[in-house]
Amino acid sequence: MTPDNPFSTPSDLPYRLPPFDRITAEHYLPAFTAGMAGHRAEVEAIATDPEPATFENTLVALELSGDLLRRVSMVFFNLTGSDTDDRLQAIEEEVAPLLAAHSDAIYLDKRLYARVADLYERRADLGLDPESAWLLERYHVQFIRAGAQLGEAEAEQLKAYNAELATLCTTFSSRLLADTNDLAVVVTDAAQLDGLSAGAIAAAGSAGEPGVYTFPLILPTEQPFLASLRDRALRERIHAASVARGARGNEHDTSDLIRRIVTLRAQRARLLGYAHHAAYQISDNTARTAEAVAEMLAQVTPAAVANACAELAGLQEIAEHPVAAHDWAFYTEQLRKQRYDLDEAELRPYFELERTLVDGVFHAAGRLYGISFAERHDLPVYHPDVRVWEVSNEDGTPLGLFLGDFYTRDSKRGGAWMNTFVDQNALEGTKPVVVNNLNINKPPAGEPALLTLDEVKTLFHEFGHTLHGLFSDVTYPKFTGTHTPRDFVEYPSQVNEMWMLWPEVLANYAVHHETGERIPAEVIDRLQAAAKFNEGFASTEYLAATLLDLAWHTLTVEDLADPEIIADVAAFEERALREAGALLAEVPPRYGSHYFAHIFTGSSYSAGYYSYIWSEVLDADTVEWFKENGGLTRENGDRFRQTLLSRGGTADALSYFRALRGRDPRIEPLLDRRGLNR
């Protein structure tokens, strides 16, 4: 790596923001190569240290190692999700197996594990503070889960599994992005667009030839345009494109990847001593066992499906033909208007992006936590659409940077997510640089971006993750921000959704972008009354995806000895949903297997998509706590920040909830919220 490579030294920009204006594709491979070599040398020095293992010369040293590799990885993998191209995809395919092998080389190092195990055996005599003691606990667990206790032959097999999985998951991501872009729906007859707002039509036509309108697909099965389009044939065409992704038998088909990924994951789990991949993944989450997750899903799925069936009957009463999956959103909006006098198309002018962000999301955070936001136009960004805010505490002390990347584009993967470019930790003295990615359709120049209710919810949700990252106040990098169990991490972000419809917050940001009129109080009342409307659909489509995830990842090595079980991905899906009682043609899963990026583009959500509803138990109970204690107050915000948001992964995650609530979580608030307690 040459000295002029931007990664050769830590960034000197505020908050160590990466120098995006200097980074180009050719800088990544040399930085990865140098970063892995440097990290290996640092780890080798720890493993061969002639001094007896101490907390400082082993665990603190491990925490401080790999700085260059960490810096290049955080930039690169953020950009492969939000602004990729052929060059970055080629680099990702090359480095993914190298990084997997690099991780294996560390966690399968017997010398290194021996030092950690020695410390663990002597832990009671080390005099560690609680966070340091937990760091030792987590390192010990992580080494064992990574295979440190395997024999030499088994360790070599594990390395082979990990390397191939890294390549397969990267390939899945590339194929899915390509097929999603290929399947964008193009319309040349403007008459077919009846029902869409003038702004939506202008946005669809802004990037193409005159008279050509393009509708890109978002990641979930349900596409937002279906709620407004009156042309049923076009609705069917958009829905068909959505569910066809990765399943067309072309070069972007993901079927072979799915079969191989689930097979390798099952074999790896068996090698590590687990019945299946779900058992391995969930054992280190708060749920602990796949059986506990299955029990909860069995508790809520029948009621969700029954509610969805009742909703279908209601839709059928106003439809002039049998309601199909591509009709659901359209007739739901008709019925919502009938019952609650709410029309999403008429609501959207009240939800302009800038106003929603500043006077809604930022306003609620300011009221709760006393923080403020100042936009920075002097800092480099990785794409012209990205914006940067400096975030400060009430006393003016700096918290970190928040980057907002809100618009969809061909170079961005679907969905919405939070990530970091720099993590907070006291050991290195760093403050967080957090980014939120959404996929809102960008309006034509000079036009406002008007949001759907679902997009407003997503904006509040992802900023909940941002607060978790910004408020991190931990010593060690391993515990920073959202580095918590997968089935806990969605909890704080889901709590933040509550402020979206909180009357004083909604009244502050829901302002008509043309007239300046604030949303009428009676409309707020109707929004509150309609909060559970269509909840059967929402619960069922989510649960169906969750059940698919578990079905794939509870397959054992013995199950997969019969290749016919997963030979046909669509048949496997249908069988799994039927057996779980969640097969409803009119309500397809939120993600079909062929485009289920959460579980097949990496391991973090595999056998973990249940995390949203598992976390929602904590969330719904916590919302009740806020309501019981006065709602949007600084006292409540400070308590939530100190008890939970600042703690990262420094202790058992459920202990945070118990400290806040004074007891274990109860499921009743969730059942009531989702209408599942009838």
Structure tokens at 544: 């169906």
What is the Cα 255 distance to its own chain's centre? 23
- The DSSP 8-state label assigned to residue 443 in this structure reads P
Show which residues are catalytic. 462
Dist. CA 654–CA 673, nearest whole Å: 21
User: What whole-number distance in Å separates Cα of residue 460 and Cα of residue 294?
Assistant: 29
DSSP H or E run through 400: strand 398-407
Continuous H helices in 349-448: 353-356, 363-369
Compute how many other C-beta atoms are within 10 angstroms of the C-beta atom of residue 662: 8
The alpha carbon torsion through 30, 33, 37, 43 (nearest 10 deg) reads 120
d(CA 410, CA 47): 45
| Selection from 473, 464, 415 nearest residue 616 by Cα | 464
Closest CA to 170 of 92, 268, 246, 247: 92
Contact criterion met (CB below 8 Å) for 296 and 539: no
Cα 197 to Cα 218: distance, rounded to the nearest angstrom:
19
Residue 347 is which amino acid?
Answer: L
Q: From the CA atom positions of the chain, what is the Rg in Å?
A: 25
CA 432 – CA 300 distance, rounded (Å): 38
Residue 45, helix vs strand vs coil: helix
Name 430's bridge partners.
425
Determine the Cα–Cα distance for residues 182 and 217; give it in Å rounded to an integer: 10
Which residues lie across from 398 on neighbouring strands? 392
Give me the residue label for tokens 């806990």: 488
Q: How far apart are CA 310 and CA 305, in angstroms?
A: 9
**What is the spatial distance between Cα 177 and Cα 350, in angstroms, rounded to a whole number?**
32
Residue 675, token pair as written in the block: 């209408």
Phi-psi domain of 444 (left: phi exceeds 0; alpha: psi -120 through 50; beta: other): beta
Are 600 and 257 in contact, with CB atoms under 8 Å apart? yes
Longest CA–CA separation in the chain, Å: 80
Helices marked H in 471-534 = 486-496, 503-509, 521-529
Assess contact for 330 and 227: CB atoms under 8 A.
yes
Whether residue 6 contacts residue 19, with contact meaning beta carbons closer than 8 Å, is answered with yes
Could you give the C-alpha distances from 477 to 7, 425, 470, 648, in angstroms and in order?
19, 5, 14, 10
Q: Is 321 left (phi over 0), alpha (psi -120 to 50) or beta?
A: beta
Q: How far apart are CA 363 and CA 355, in angstroms?
A: 10
Hey, what's the torsion of the CAs at 585, 590, 596, 599, to 10 degrees?
-120
Rounded-to-integer distance, Cα 627 and Cα 659, Å: 17
